[in-house]
């Protein structure tokens, strides 16, 4: 039996481990609720370092490089609520439904994750209960408290410039499924600034590939934006400030355009 099998449910996160959710309350009356599924890269002490070299924890496979810095600057600029996941998506991916094949990835962009091999049902549920469900419960509570107010969910992500050897040309992408309204508006505003913008690039948003937007926005009929920013553009503070300022300027414009 592996070390991970010996863990009891509820004893997974210890006192030294961070709370899975970082919640920043709204500061002004804003239509936006910001969520950041892949902001963090913490690993519960019970999992050691997942059996991978430290350098792998610096890579895009562990988290969305740069997006926490964008979100933390965008939030006060908008006065909006921000909900961040603190744990690495290599522990459990909070933008995947429970039990999804890549929810607890056994391999990511060519890197085998020893702590994620042949997980039992119990081991998987321990991670869901400790990390995935508390995060989505906070988003649910935030949206439940706003049912009488116009609301748009803004899901913040970043993508690696090179995936499996292929270089990606877009500065940013907007991802959508059934409701593309806000995506198209924001894509147009970004293009007006001379940026190369993908639509459902570099990823396609579907009910099965994603979890946060289908669960919290589409199921409630809320408009949403899932934006992916290329990581080399926001790897340093200057780029994070630039993109936070850009989104703080464009999101209210997009919201007004949506409301017309
Ligand atoms: Zn992401």
Please give the pLDDT value at position 210.
97
Residue 84 alpha carbon to ligand 1 centre in Å: 11
Q: Where are the alpha helices (DSSP H) in the chain?
A: 67-78, 121-127, 133-144, 181-191, 212, 237-259
Assign 3-state DSSP to the chain and report helix, strand, coil percentages, each to 5.
Answer: 35, 20, 45
Residue 159 alpha carbon to ligand 1 centre in Å: 7
Q: What are the tokens at 15?
A: 């006192």
What is the CA angle 128-134-140, rounded to 5?
120
Please give the pLDDT value at position 11.
72
- Each residue of 205-240: pLDDT tens digit? 999 999 999 999 999 999 999 999 999 999 999 999
Dist. CA 26–CA 34, nearest whole Å:
10
Render 158-204 in DSSP notation, one character per residue. EE-SEETTEEP--SEEEE-SS--HHHHHHHHHHHTTT--EEES-S--
Angle in degrees, 0-180, between the axes of helices 237-259 and 181-191, rounded to the nearest 10 = 130
pLDDT in tens, the chain (260 residues): 344 444 444 579 999 999 999 999 999 999 999 999 999 999 999 999 999 999 999 999 999 999 999 999 999 999 999 999 999 999 999 999 999 999 999 999 999 999 999 999 999 999 999 999 999 999 999 999 999 999 999 999 999 999 888 899 999 999 999 999 999 999 999 999 999 999 999 999 999 999 999 999 999 999 999 999 999 999 999 999 999 999 999 999 999 999 88
Please give the pLDDT value at position 151.
98
Dist. CA 154–CA 180, nearest whole Å:
13
Please give the pLDDT value at position 5.
41
CATH number for the domain including 226? 3.40.630.40
Q: How many residues does the chain have?
A: 260
Please give the pLDDT value at position 1.
37
| Domain carrying residue 231 | 4-259
Residue 34 alpha carbon to ligand 1 centre in Å: 13
Residue 138 alpha carbon to ligand 1 centre in Å: 18
Residue 226 alpha carbon to ligand 1 centre in Å: 9
| Residue 234 near residue 67, CB atoms below 8 Å | yes
Please give the pLDDT value at position 2.
43
Dist. CA 189–CA 253, nearest whole Å:
9
Residue 1 alpha carbon to ligand 1 centre in Å: 32
Backbone angles phi, psi at 148, to 5 degrees: -90, 0
Neighbouring C-beta atoms of residue 219, cutoff 10 Å? 10
Q: What are the tokens at 176?
A: 């959508």
Residue 60 alpha carbon to ligand 1 centre in Å: 9
Residue 47 alpha carbon to ligand 1 centre in Å: 22
Name the domain count of the chain.
Answer: 1
Dist. CA 206–CA 208, nearest whole Å:
5
């Amino acid at each position: 039996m592996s070390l991970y099998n010996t863990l009891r449910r509820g004893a997974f996160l210890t006192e030294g481990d961070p709370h899975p959710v970082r919640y920043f309350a709204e500061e002004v009356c804003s239509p936006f609720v910001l969520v950041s599924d892949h902001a963090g890269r913490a690993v519960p002490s019970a999992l050691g370092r997942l059996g991978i070299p430290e350098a792998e924890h610096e890579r895009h496979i562990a988290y969305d490089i740069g997006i926490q810095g964008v979100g933390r600057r965008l939030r006060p600029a908008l006065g909006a609520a921000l909900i961040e996941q603190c744990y690495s998506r290599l522990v459990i991916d909070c933008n995947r439904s429970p039990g999804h094949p890549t929810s607890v990835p056994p391999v990511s962009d060519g890197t085998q994750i020893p702590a994620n091999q042949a997980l039992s049902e119990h081991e998987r549920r321990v991670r869901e209960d400790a990390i995935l469900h508390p995060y989505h419960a906070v988003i649910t509570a935030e949206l439940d408290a706003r049912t009488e107010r116009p609301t748009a969910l803004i899901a913040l992500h970043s993508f690696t410039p090179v995936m499996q050897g292929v270089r990606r040309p877009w500065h940013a992408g907007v991802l959508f499924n059934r409701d593309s309204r806000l995506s198209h508006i924001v894509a147009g505003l970004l293009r007006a600034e001379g940026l190369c913008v993908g639509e459902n690039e570099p990823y396609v948003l579907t009910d099965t590939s994603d979890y946060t937007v289908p669960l919290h926005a589409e199921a409630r009929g809320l408009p949403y934006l899932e934006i992916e920013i290329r990581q080399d553009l926001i790897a340093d503070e200057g780029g994070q400030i630039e993109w936070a300022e850009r989104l703080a300027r464009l999101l209210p414009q997009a919201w007004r355009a949506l409301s017309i």
